[in-house]
Amino acid sequence: MADGKQTHVGACAVSTAQFPLGTILYLYNADGSFNRQCLAEDTGNDVHVGQIDIAMPGDAAGATRWGIRHLWARVARWGWGAGGTPTP
């Protein structure tokens, strides 16, 4: 991951043009129910503004079953905060 950590459940990749690394996002289903939270720890060429790639537990088949979902995102923390980027 861009912050030097291994990929883990709760991590996500974002476009840094939209969210800085270290941003905590709360993700909600279309009906307003809470789905999960993630920490923006990575970026990539295939992640564009309006997209979030969520690290999924298990194997590739599980991620394929999850598929593409349209969720609402709320920012809980913008970037790493005053402490700066943690050292891996």
Query: What's 19's domain CATH number?
Result: 2.40.40.10
* In-domain check, residue 59: yes
The per-residue pLDDT for range 34-81, each reduced to its tens digit, is 999 999 999 988 999 999 999 887 788 888 888 999 999 999 999 987
- pTM for this entry: 0.85
* In-domain check, residue 38: yes
Bridge partners of residue 73, in order along the sequence: 27
* In-domain check, residue 52: yes
* In-domain check, residue 2: no
Q: What's the number of domains the chain is made of?
A: 1
Provide the sign of the torsion angle of the four alpha carbons 61, 68, 33, 21, taken in this order: positive
* In-domain check, residue 72: yes
Q: Token digits for 10?
A: 């709760």
Domain interval for residue 65: 11-77
DSSP 8-state class, residue 73: E
In one-letter notation, the amino acid at residue 53 is D
In one-letter notation, the amino acid at residue 21 is L
pLDDT value of residue 82:
72
* In-domain check, residue 25: yes
* In-domain check, residue 84: no
